[in-house]
């Protein structure tokens, strides 16, 4: 049991650090929005679509800030967990339940944004003589895949963290 605590704890620490670094890099990067602004400036009639894209980037920025807070919380819990502290067990349990809510909320919001972006891209495509449909199979697969990547490990962790032997080992 002590071995599994170390493996899960250190894995959680490493993943949290990787996600924290990637979110910090993403927040500091503004080049993508600048590139889209340049593209849309060539089509002033696409102002509505530009606003939809700006909303998407604002959402991504807010989600990144939230992710930094959330994974800092997870990191603290994992560090305490590796030290066999009951606080770590409690923090990781809380993080798991928040993670389930995150998966549902983010998937729902991502679906809404995907629908808006598909409509915007279809509209811009029609302005330049192309044709893009409103249905995005890859986007739906990405949302579903992301949801599964959140849910499956989180549910597994919830069951693991509820084991009576684990609770006994924590100080």
37 or 168, greater pLDDT = 168
Structure tokens at 130: 């192309």
- For residue 36, the model assigns a pLDDT of 62
Mean pLDDT value of segment 8-36: 86
Structure tokens at 39: 């593209």
Angle among Cα 119, 125, 128 to the nearest 5 degrees reads 150
* Structural domain boundaries in the chain: 2-169
Q: Is the pTM of this model over 0.85?
A: no
- Directed axis angle between helix 31-41 and helix 47-82, to 10°? 170
3 or 132, greater pLDDT = 3
- For residue 41, the model assigns a pLDDT of 64
pLDDT-based confidence at residue 55 (cuts at 50, 70, 90): confident
| C-alpha span between 14 and 50 (Å, rounded) | 37
Instruction: Name 116's Cβ contacts closer than 8 Å, sequence gap at least 6.
Output: 52, 55, 56
Model confidence pLDDT, tens digit, residues 109-166:
888 878 877 776 666 566 555 555 556 778 888 889 989 998 999 999 999 999 999 9
- For residue 43, the model assigns a pLDDT of 59
């Amino acid at each position: 049991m002590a071995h599994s605590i170390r493996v899960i704890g250190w894995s959680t620490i490493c993943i949290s650090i990787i996600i924290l670094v990637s979110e910090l890099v993403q927040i500091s990067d503004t080049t993508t929005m600048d590139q889209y602004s340049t593209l849309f400036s060539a089509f002033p009639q696409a102002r509505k679509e530009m606003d939809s894209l700006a909303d998407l980037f604002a959402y991504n920025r807010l989600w990144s800030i939230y992710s930094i807070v959330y994974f800092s919380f997870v990191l603290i819990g994992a560090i305490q967990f590796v030290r066999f502290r009951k606080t770590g067990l409690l923090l990781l349990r809380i993080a798991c339940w928040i993670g389930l809510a995150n998966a549902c909320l983010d998937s729902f919001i991502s679906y809404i944004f995907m629908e808006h972006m598909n409509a915007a891209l279809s509209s811009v495509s029609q302005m330049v003589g192309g044709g893009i449909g409103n249905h995005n199979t890859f986007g739906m697969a990405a949302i579903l895949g992301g949801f599964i990547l959140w849910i499956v490990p989180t549910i597994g962790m919830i069951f693991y963290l509820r084991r009576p032997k684990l609770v006994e080992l924590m100080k």
